[in-house]
Structure formats: structure tokens, C-alpha cells
Amino acid sequence: MRRIHPDIEDNPDIEQAYAYPGDRPWLRLNMVSSVDGAAWLQGLSGGLSSKGDKRVFGVLRGLADVIMAGAATVRAEQYAAVNPRESWREIRAGRPAAPPLAVVSRGLDLDLTGPLFTGVSRTIIVTCASAPAARLKAAAEVADVIVAGDEGVDLRAAVADLHERGLSRILCEGGPRINAQLAAAGLVDELCLSVSPLLLGGSAARILDGEPSQVKLELRQVLEEEGVLFCRYTREQSR
């Protein structure tokens, strides 16, 4: 892997390349897409991934305080609780060995007995007051539950709750609908985008799919490996 922007460097330190900017709360999206913006291949992101993307994916998880994902992505990608990695020992010093998952789900259509709820860090479920009462009660037995919003999940309130729990560095892994909601709510500070050298077309969603938004970004860094570009954008600061 090499950095090609803003300078040239072979084999950069990946942890340093994606280090969080200071101690302020920060929400970053991490997505992979084709060159024409498709967020999945045959319904899954794995077909767009690469060895380099998997390395970056692992580092971003290790740096995060909490990993957010929408329930549809959790089901499609067959998420499990995050297990500790030896490579995270130093970057997670003073924190739990692995970050918890925060699953956003309005209807709580989740397998509450599955591997999503068996990690070293207790999974968090983010839902709303209109969630089915029986499912909500069952979820509270295996996870920490955040009720944010009435008829739908209020992501602003949910993110504020995560901050109050000391989980200020939030990594969102999608999918496209929750990305769009976060962007529309003005909550996105950073986008980490792996661009796979493929053209797909078809009906695959873009990395944001849903509510309209317009967030100006600044290109901070580009890494490259085997034709895959790893772009890091941050929200443009007002001048």
C-alpha cells in the first residue's frame, strides 16, 4: 500500500493514517463502492472488497469506541459481535478489548439468540418507542437498549446517548439508508471510502440512499493498493 495524496509514501502506518483528530466526538462512515458508486455486488459488500480494504476495515474497527450499523446491513452481512484482535492491544489501551456494536433497528427483527449478542462488549440496540413491546423487553435481556424517537429512530438523540456513555468515536458501517439519514441530520464528520476498480450499474444502491443531503467534503488522504483507492474525506469546515 502507498499514500499518493497529500504526499507520496510507501507502506504508510495505517493506524496513523486513520487516527482520529483529537479528543472531540467524531462520526465516520466506512464504505466500499464500485467506481460508479454501487455499494454492493449481488447484495453484499464483500464482492467489492480487497485485501487492503479488509486491513483498513480492521484498523478502523480497532480505533472506534463503537461500531454502528443498520439492522438490514447486520442481517444481510450476517454480523456477529466483534472479537478482540492482538493487533488492537496498543490502540485500545484503557478501553474494552473490542468495541461494541450499536445496531439501529426500528422493528427489532433481529436474532436475539445469535452471535450478535455473544461478544466481550455488550451489544447496543438503538430503537424507538413504537418498537414492538415484547421484542423490546426481550432485547433488553441480551443488550443495552437506547430508545431514541417515537415513531422512528432519532439518530441525533441516539448519537448523543452514545456520547453520554463515553462512546464518542463512532464508526458507521452502513448501510446506505442509515448513511443517508446520518448525513441529512448533519452528523457525518468523515467518510472513509474504498473505491474498487469495477463498473457495476444495475440496481445496487449508492453509498447514500434515501433522505437528501448536501455535505461539502474535503479530500484529506488517498492510499492505493492493487488499483483500489482508499479515500479519506472530512466535512468541510466553515471559513
pLDDT digits (tens, 9 = 90+) for 110-144: 999 999 999 899 999 999 999 999 999 999 999 99
> Grid coordinates standing for 239?
471559513
Say what the alpha-carbon torsion angle 183, 43, 50, 20 is, to the nearest 10 degrees.
20
Residue 239 has pLDDT above 60, yes or no: no
pLDDT at 43: 77
Residue 176 has pLDDT above 60, yes or no: yes
Residue 237 has pLDDT above 80, yes or no: no
pLDDT at 70: 97
Residue 40: pLDDT band with limits 50, 70, 90? confident
User: What is the percent of the chain with per-residue pLDDT over 90, rounded to a whole number?
Assistant: 89
Stated pTM of the model? 0.95
pLDDT at 238: 58
Say what the alpha-carbon torsion angle 82, 84, 87, 93 is, to the nearest 10 degrees.
110
pLDDT at 131: 96
Q: List helix spans (H) across the chain.
A: 14-17, 51-63, 71-76, 133-142, 155-164, 176-184
Residue 77: pLDDT band with limits 50, 70, 90? very high
Q: How far apart are CA 102 and CA 139, in angstroms?
A: 13
Residue 47: pLDDT band with limits 50, 70, 90? confident
Q: CA gyration radius for the chain?
A: 17
Q: How far apart are CA 102 and CA 206, in angstroms?
A: 22
Nearest by Cα to 33 from 18, 17, 49:
49
Q: Which residues pair with 237 in a beta bridge?
A: none
Nearest by Cα to 34 from 209, 206, 203:
206
